[in-house]
Structure 1
Amino acid sequence: MKNSGTIIKITLAVFLFLCLLKMPYGFYEFVRFLSLIGFGLLAYKAKEENKNSEMIIFTSLALLFQPFFKIALGRELWNIVDVIVGIGLILSSGRLFFTKRNN
């Protein structure tokens, strides 16, 4: 499944952007679990493709968002992190949207 990484990235970006809205606390916990799993899968995929820089980035993001030992940044700073990571995910999956396809 070649585009599975892109699907994971777009899904995570959407959920991170939804975190900017006022949501119940359970939603944020769900996003943390989803992010841990999603970034973990992206790190694994990057490792398989020998993309060590991407592997380190995705592993770091999995650790940042993991729900077990929470990093208290405050709502405003988490919003900034969510936006930066969401934009980064969209840009890194941009090859799917901006490349020409040969028919």
Structure 2
Amino acid sequence: MMQQSENIIKIVLSILFLLCLVNMPYGFYQIVRFLGFVGFGILAYQSNQKEKQTEMFVYIALAILFQPFFKIYLGRTIWNVVDVVVAVGLLLSVLTNKKEK
């Protein structure tokens, strides 16, 4: 059950990050930052519960990067690259987790 919720969070976040490549209203990006923060926080907690420390630290770093409280200004081009890399990484982790079962 936990694995399924993890995969849903990863897929939803991936879709949201890829939608950031399209020209959207500024409010959309704020929502994505908040959802990314919450989603990566949940993923970090679940990784900690499974004693996967490396994954936990990666998710904490991503939660900090996407957190909406103290914005990190990287410029649109760099944020687009970050969004794609993170989305692809999340989707690959879903695919590799399915193969491990």
TM-score (norm 2): 0.94
Q: CA RMSD in A?
A: 1.4
**What runs of 5+ residues in structure 2 fail to find an aligned partner?**
none
Q: CA deviation at 1:86?
A: 0.3
Q: How does 1:1-103 map to 2 (within 5 A)?
A: 1-2=1-2, 3-95=4-96, 97=98, 99=99
Letter in 2 for 1:15: L
CA distance in 1: counterparts of 2:30 and 2:96, whole angstroms: 30
**TM-score, structure 1 normalization:** 0.92
Counterpart of 1:70, as a letter, is K
CA distance in 1, matches of 2:90, 2:44: 13
Larger radius of gyration: 1
Residue correspondences, number: 100
Shift of residue 100 of structure 1? Answer: 8.7
Provide the identity percentage.
52
